[in-house]
Amino acid sequence: MKMSLYRSRFIFALLVILLSLGVAAAALHSISYSNKPDSTWEMYEDFNVAFARHWKARSGVNVTVKQAHSGSGVPVRAMMDGQDIVTLALSYDIEALKKNTRFTLPDWQGSSPQSPPYTSTVVFLVRKGNPKQLKDWGDLVRPGIEVITPSPKTSGDARWNYLAAWGYALQQSGGNEANAFEFVRKLFSNVTIPDSGPRNSRPSAAMANFVERGLGDVLLVWENEAHRVVRDHGGDKFEIVTPSMSIMAEPIVSIVDNAATDGERDVARAYIDYLHTAKAQDIAGKHYYRPRDERVAGKYATQFPSIDLFTVDELFGGWKLAESRHFARGGVFDQMQVK
């Protein structure tokens, strides 16, 4: 069994699992194509240990997990050949994967009946004490507020940020497309970009600019990553502001339609199914993802404040349509003409 974590130039998370079962043992090899482990990587380290124990008890087969890290930029097809499971942070990346004729990627719902196993959302990371008193999206368009986020033109993470702000504006009293356009234009006019170049459009660069270089008043970031920053700095340098409304980030989980044996496919399904068990849901909560299981989610209620969440499908007609309308060349973001 092989698992790989990959980030494309749009910085989306990709997890693939290759099942290689012997009579008495299976091996799971993980390769991370990111500069350093992230929350997803940490979570799956714990999850794989739990699944290995589960599978051993169920089948008597040992599953060994090995992980390694590398830089981003490896072509998708170089790592997807022969894989059995894929998880994607952005569902529109399915279309990019389908262009590879060496495999097909069926819709995850056709492979597993469950919804995505855990979620996250976009929140604000501010400095301890919240000196600019940033409490909701409307505060980010105030004059003089310096917002840190990658560019939606080059970063999948930033596209979540953009759509979260757009959805908020659209659903305010009297909100419409014109108002949302102007709101998001003002927000991105407040974005601080210290220097140009592709490296500074990456989420890791945005995080470094805010956390390490001390730039900006607020970082737009996934909730799980914000919790990691607060934890790693002892809780005395940063704090999390949960806005009144944001976007629900859902991973896509699927079995890749390769020439897998029935036995391999059974283990692949078991792996996906196990993500929805109480044990795995608890692991997700410990790593600052919002569990789908309501009972497990209740255990982490104080960690995850109540928030009004909307999905990309609900407000934007899905990622494919959002991509073509907002982020393609000449799209809505280009029309804003923000620096």
Class of domain 120-248+308-336: alpha beta
- What single DSSP character describes residue 164? H
Q: Which residues of 113-149 are buried (b: 16+ CB within 10 A; e: fewer)?
A: eeebbbbbbbbbbbbeebebebeebebbbeeebebbb
**Separation of alpha carbons 304 and 232, rounded Å:** 18
Q: Which residues contact 294 (CB under 8 A, 6 or more apart)?
A: none
Q: From the CA atom positions of the chain, what is the Rg in Å?
A: 20
Please tell me the distance from the alpha carbon of residue 278 to that of residue 321, in angstroms, as a whole number: 35
Of 24, 2, 21, nearest in space to 264 by CA: 21
Q: Is 15 helix (H, G, I), strand (E, B) or coil?
A: strand
The rounded mean pLDDT for the chain is 77
pLDDT beyond 70 at 28: no
* CATH classification for the domain delimited by 2-117+251-299, as one of 2.40.30.20, 3.50.40.10, 3.40.190.10, 3.30.420.40: 3.40.190.10
34-43, 93-102, 210-219, 270-279 — most confident range: 210-219
pLDDT exceeds cutoff 80 at 279? yes
- Residue 200 phi/psi, 5-degree rounding, is -85, 5
Intra-chain end-to-end CA distance of the chain, in Å: 45
For residue range 171-189, what is the model confidence (pLDDT) as tens digits?
A: 999 999 999 999 999 999 9
pLDDT per residue over 68-118, tens digit each?
Answer: 443 333 434 434 444 455 555 555 555 555 555 344 444 444 444 457 889
Phi-psi region of 121 (alpha: psi -120 to 50; beta: other; left: phi over 0): beta
Phi-psi region of 129 (alpha: psi -120 to 50; beta: other; left: phi over 0): left
Are 2-117+251-299 and 120-248+308-336 the same fold in CATH? Answer: yes
pLDDT at 99: 56
Average pLDDT over every residue of 323-333:
94
DSSP state of 233: T
Reading phi first (left if > 0) and then psi (alpha if -120 to 50, else beta), residue 130 is in left
Give tens-digit pLDDT for 251-267: 766 665 554 566 666 77
Only one residue has tokens 């908020």, namely 168
pLDDT at position 21 is: 40
Q: Could you report the per-residue pLDDT of 301-314, keeping only the tens digit for each?
A: 999 999 999 999 99
- Which residues, in sequence order, are CB contacts of 239 under 8 Å at separation 6+? 125, 126, 127, 128, 129, 130, 230
DSSP state letters, 91-131: TTHHHHHHT-TT-B---HHHH-SSPPSEEEEEEEEEETT-T
- The tokens for 100 are 């590879």
Per-domain residue ranges for the chain? 2-117+251-299, 120-248+308-336
Residues whose CB falls within 8 Å of the CB of residue 76, separated by 6 or more in sequence, listed in order: 6, 8, 14, 96, 97, 100
What CA–CA distance (Å, rounded) separates 121 from 245?
10
What distance in Å separates the CA atoms of residue 31 and residue 39, rounded to the nearest whole number? 15
Alpha-carbon gap, residue 61 to 315, rounded angstroms:
45
